[in-house]
């Protein structure tokens, strides 16, 4: 299934049915009076988060969604039938935005969380509603209201606790295979990863975290070079970033420190809040070097980067050092899960004000 993380659609809520202007006509009932019923309401359009969906591909080709109109009222005080609502299902982590106002309608971060996209029109009033002591035979009625129309933008930001950063072939996909049940493609050429991969890392029976692998970054990614810039947004909800560095590149002329600094600069250019997230240095492929050479390169990289934060040395291929790293990650994630991620905080107040919750009718 192709990974689609953005979509633009149109939603048209249903029109309310017209009220009826009817007079009671029965044998032996002279002057029966008005008996026109009200029109039914038009169908509304809702959006709902679903954990069984992981892409917005359903909205790539089907872009227009319409709810049905309500039925008109009838005589004998019969109200028109209301139209059924339409529910659009999207992956958990989808941000819903009104394109006309650029307003965030909802940030769907929980399964079954719902938000109203377009309200159906109210039904019109029948002439029975206009009866009074001075107007015994009213002829007036009202028409149903038009349903709302909106242009909607869906943007998916995957929900993960930890995100992986690094140049192509830094070993991100190999690492996620080593610590989780995810099986992303691994090959000896750049840009093997073409879309984000999620893996659940289970530390023990009761503790786990989700890790996200995005396509590798290259210098100029923030301006559109390579593939990774399209998916950096998927790291904005994470609590921690792991910066994987290949300490044994195939090309001996590669400046590892320069490449690592380029990744850091791309983060800052793309989003300052992403740059400010906690970031750990993970030096990978230590198994390709002897112990003395590996130690020498690790010290040179840390010195060149002026790195003062946590750093780990691993071999993702052989899973050496991965267990210690995952336990450290689990401890960090558990401490930070008590606090909402910054990206979610930005929309929390918006959700409280704008999201309408369904009520029993």
Exposure on the CB side of residue 174, measured as CA atoms within 13 A? 22
The pLDDT tens digits along the chain (361 residues) read 456 778 999 999 999 999 999 988 888 877 788 999 999 999 999 999 998 887 888 898 889 999 999 999 998 889 999 999 999 999 888 999 999 999 999 999 889 999 999 999 999 999 998 998 888 889 899 999 999 999 999 988 877 788 888 887 778 888 888 888 666 555 454 444 445 677 778 888 788 888 887 765 545 544 444 444 556 776 777 888 889 888 888 777 778 888 888 888 877 877 788 788 888 999 998 888 888 888 999 999 999 888 888 899 999 888 898 889 999 999 888 887 665 444 444 444 334 333 333 333 3
Range list for CATH 3.40.50.300 in the chain: 162-346
Residue in 247, 259, 350 with CA at minimum distance from that of residue 300: 247
Contact 184, 213 (CB under 8 A): yes
State the pLDDT at residue 347. 41
Specify the fold of 162-346. Rossmann fold (3.40.50)
Residue in 183, 217, 235, 267 with CA at minimum distance from that of residue 342: 235
State the pLDDT at residue 357. 36
| Alpha carbon of residue 193 to chain centroid | 20
State the pLDDT at residue 338. 60
State the pLDDT at residue 27. 81
Contact 216, 339 (CB under 8 A): no
Question: Strand (E) positions, the chain?
Answer: 6-12, 45-50, 64-66, 86-91, 94-98, 103-108, 114-118, 149-156, 162-165, 197-202, 208-213, 240-246, 279-284, 311-313
Contact 238, 276 (CB under 8 A): no
| Alpha carbon of residue 301 to chain centroid | 36
Spell out the CATH class of 6-156: mainly beta
Q: Is 4 exposed, middle or buried (0-12, 13-18, 19+ CB in 10 A)?
A: middle
State the pLDDT at residue 2. 53
Longest dimension (CA), the chain: 110
Angle between helical axes of 291-305 and 256-270 (0-180°, round to 10): 40
Range list for CATH 2.70.210.12 in the chain: 6-156
């Amino acid at each position: 299934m192709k990974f689609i993380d953005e979509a633009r659609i149109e939603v048209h809520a249903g029109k309310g049915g017209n009220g009826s202007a009817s007079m009671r006509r029965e044998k032996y009932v002279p002057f029966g009076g008005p008996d026109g019923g009200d029109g039914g309401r038009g169908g509304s359009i809702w959006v709902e988060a679903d954990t069984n969906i992981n892409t917005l591909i359903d909205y790539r080709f089907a872009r227009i969604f319409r709810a049905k109109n309500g039925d008109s009222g009838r005589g004998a005080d019969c109200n028109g039938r209301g139209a059924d609502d339409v529910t659009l299902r999207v992956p958990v982590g989808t941000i819903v935005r009104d394109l006309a106002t650029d307003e965030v309608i909802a940030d769907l971060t929980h399964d079954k969380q719902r938000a109203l996209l377009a309200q159906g029109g109210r039904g019109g009033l029948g002439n029975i509603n206009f009866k009074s002591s001075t107007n015994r035979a009213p002829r007036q009625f009202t028409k149903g209201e038009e349903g709302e129309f909106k242009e909607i933008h869906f943007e998916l930001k995957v929900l993960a606790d930890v995100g992986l950063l690094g140049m192509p072939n830094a070993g991100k996909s190999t690492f996620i295979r080593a610590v989780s049940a995810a099986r992303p493609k691994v090959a000896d050429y750049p840009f093997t990863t073409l879309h984000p991969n999620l893996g659940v890392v289970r530390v023990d029976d009761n503790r786990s975290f989700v890790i996200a692998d995005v396509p590798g970054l290259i210098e100029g990614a923030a301006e559109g070079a390579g593939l990774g810039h399209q998916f950096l947004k998927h790291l904005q909800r994470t609590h921690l970033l792991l910066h994987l560095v290949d300490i044994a590149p195939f090309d001996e002329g590669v400046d590892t420190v320069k490449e690592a600094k380029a990744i850091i600069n791309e983060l800052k250019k793309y989003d300052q809040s992403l740059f400010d997230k906690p970031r750990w240095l993970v030096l990978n492929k230590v198994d390709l070097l002897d112990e003395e050479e590996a130690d020498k390169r690790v010290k040179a990289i840390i010195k060149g980067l002026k790195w003062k934060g946590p750093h780990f040395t691993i071999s993702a291929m052989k899973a050496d050092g991965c267990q210690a790293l995952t336990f450290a990650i689990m401890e960090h994630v558990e401490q930070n899960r008590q606090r909402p991620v910054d990206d979610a905080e930005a929309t929390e107040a918006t959700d409280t004000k704008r999201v309408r919750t369904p009520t029993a009718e």
